[in-house]
Amino acid sequence: MTKSSGSDGGILLGALAGGSRGGMFYGTICDPTDETFFCKLTRFTQEVRMFLFLIMLVVVPIYYLRLYKKKRK
């Protein structure tokens, strides 16, 4: 059995936040009115990443609180 370092949630949140840049390359910006496939896909993936990040902001603290309470017993 391996012992968890306790930083798994932080790494996951960092990966989600760090990967949420727009465009294929950092600095690529699409106009909100641009209807090209690339810009539509970029906006869609940004929304998915934001949604996942918000879920993780709730799930990770709850997970660590439960883990903390189990260790206190």
pLDDT in tens, 18-47: 554 544 555 578 888 889 999 999 889 999
Q: What is the pLDDT of residue 51?
A: 96
Contact 42, 30 (CB under 8 A): yes
Q: Is the pLDDT of residue 17 over 60?
A: no
Nearest CA-CA partner of 64 in 1, 15, 5: 5
Q: What is the pLDDT of residue 1?
A: 41
More confident residue, 34 or 53: 53
| Distance (Å, whole) CA 12 – CA 69 | 22
Q: What is the pLDDT of residue 25?
A: 53
pTM over 0.85: no
| Domain residue ranges of the chain, discontinuous segments joined by + | 10-18+30-72
Q: Residue 20 phi/psi, 5° resolution?
A: -95, 20
SS3 33: coil
Which helix (DSSP H) or strand (DSSP E) does residue 31 occupy? Answer: none
